[in-house]
Structure 1
């Protein structure tokens, strides 16, 4: 078993290098040794044991977690089977190559926690091959080479291979031939390379690594790649993202004349694995493709292939405003150095993008879309007039962030463009070679409209709509086509293929252009009576100026029903193309349930998803809503407590008032009840008792109680 260590296996570099290593049989890329002439004489000698036919086992480290709470974890796109084996395999491979920060690739057998140098040292000593990305792990790579060099005696019998993948920025200030400014600096001149000021430490570590490679037990290599591009978050991603989002112009910093050497990540990985396998004599390798393009040429190619084709040059200082462009990436974009690789051109692997980014831009963009799931989402909403197609189309366009295509607006925009060009008013990138043809077409449209009650010919409407569907925005994000086409002939003409060989059998199934064909057909169904009743309930102001007046609506419904019978409907055309419509009755489905059914049928959006700024804004809005909710809850609680306090105080006051009233009433009752008793006492008891007490006071007997008793007994009125 041969173990290889790869730094940051969750980065695009580490992810793809480890993937290629685990799919490479150890020794499979080494050239076969020719038998020696005296082979027969050496038959008795023991032959060296052949290496086992097994792939490399990969261990590695992970990227350190980022502190930013607003970080967006870019997930690869979902795998959607199309039935085309070649396209499906390419999409599956692009998704597998897409690295997700913080996620260990399934082919990596073991990972070491970042910062755990003790475990990392033991892991490195246990590996036969060590591969470090200097751009992302500069300090750790420096520590690793020093550690391995100090302990080289321990693996003298089994030498290790150390490969450092650096950057061409260590060549950024290298001067070329003063007599020939266009001459290229060759790989052999690496000893005189001069770095960019921000990459001096990289150069120092490169030299240190090569120096430690002089030990027989430690073979070291430095590979300096050009600007590495791939479908993930590469140095050109900000351009791909802006172009896919239909930015009016892509930004080129500076004058764009600087020559930026490049290489695709797949080719760089093959160079690394080839170095691991063949152990070349050359210790310093330039990994650069044949594309000697300037920054402006690269930006222009991306814009033309994915965007509007427009490029705007801005001062270099404007890069400070671009949050998607780190300082290190900006430094690399501004590099201007003409380099010529050497040994990599003699390697035996098959290059993927040897000619460079521009020559392979179509394939690269397809990988970019496949890896990120940025496939266009194309929807048609079909149904009778006034059934709710426009409302549904607008909701779908907003939910999926795709383009709403309304035939009337498309025709108006096309006619307005023809009128503008006929008047000699051209856009910044428009040519004047077709102005006469545009004038003729405009005149033809106006004559046809005058002869047909303001309606343009169907063939021109179809051409305008087809041009819209083939526009870059619709090719990037997709579209929702509102209520069109309505008849089979329109659908056949709109989606007909320019290649007659695309169809299976043109007599049975017409050939269609799959690059603009819809993915989903939503058919809204309702009876004429339901639609008429629905329109009649609308206020007159909502109907005025529309085609939903009573007479117009009846006519439109009749035309639709005539063109769409059970036997002959445009839905059958799409059904034959394996694009099966989803039929929904709006009579029995409310608006929210209708949209839920459609969204469930269509699936998730095919776009980038929320940005870090959008996520931060959503969190801010959610936090504000939560704070407001808590404040309202606290205010409500205080209000309730105040009301309860006031209610309690009022209840206590009422209780006290009632209690006082009761006491007063009881006092009055007692007083009323005590009047006869008082009268009785005052008449029969008190006079005698008073006399007795006076007598006791006068006499002062030894036993006053007994004396009083005798007095009362003697003077009892009853005894007299």
Structure 2
């Protein structure tokens, strides 16, 4: 499937493929494996921008010393050659200034972006240029998760791109942003850069294979929940972002507006890889999907990409990494559960302590509120009632309730208030008489006798 870069006349074509599918469906794993096995170039929007910026930095760093040297040498030229010197300086500075402008344009656009992404039309222009460069054309490419919708697919693959590549160094490997300027001699004819057309699409950048991973939202969410926390954060798989990305993917891939339809209409029939077994409704092992893809693509050319032994070792390492991730997830879950239990116990202890303090405060308030009632009972009720209860305990009458009632009525000093002739003053005088006067009278009578 892959071409040999050392033999450009070979009839074997480089692998050009697009991996399509919802988030967390395994697109990156499949794409990276294909690139390692077939020696193709791994492409995402992020890696594309990084490589373009790195290429611009290297070219500017390589060219600027030469330009400065030319300017320094030209400063010693005679005045009559001033016009020729200026032309030579402008010619030397032209590509560098253009590259610097492109670099600033990309970096400023990234900084101004709210989500750290370039505008959609800018990404499309960059991608069309990137796929036609020598690296992707010589080694092939595997495009991971892009284009995301049918409009992007039409912009990139549905029409011939207007591409300009500076060739100041003569190596033809530079990357340039289409539509961003370019000096005289910096652009080649479109046919030389893009190739012949199939209908309205370029056969030089058009993929030969489109693989679409099929999975349900529930399955993907369950898969994400089993990932370690650091992977979830690094890939924006948290609940809010995951649900948002899934909803956007489904919106962009309905039966009528999916980008797969564009390729199907151009004779590139997408291969649907179902990750859920239709019979058992269980997830399909990734190695089964990998075997299906390899069967479709065929064996790679020996000596190009990884050997079978190296690929086997790579798969073994990936499987070990998956086991480590599963173990990391298990340990994280265990730590979360232990932390949650400790947190629960701490909250229960604090709640119990708070409840105890509240009960004590309620008791204090209740005591304060019932103090007058207690004093009243202690003064007027308890003395007589205590005496009555003692009598009941001593006598043990057959009808203790009636006995208690009669005793209370008899012994209660206040019970005399029902007597019409009773007054408190009279009761007081009677008590003084019975206490002080009556004993004296009795003594006197006794002495006279």
Higher relative contact order (CA 8 A, sep 6+): 2
Q: TM-score, normalization: structure 2?
A: 0.49
Q: Which has the larger radius of gyration?
A: 2
Q: TM-score, normalization: structure 1?
A: 0.31
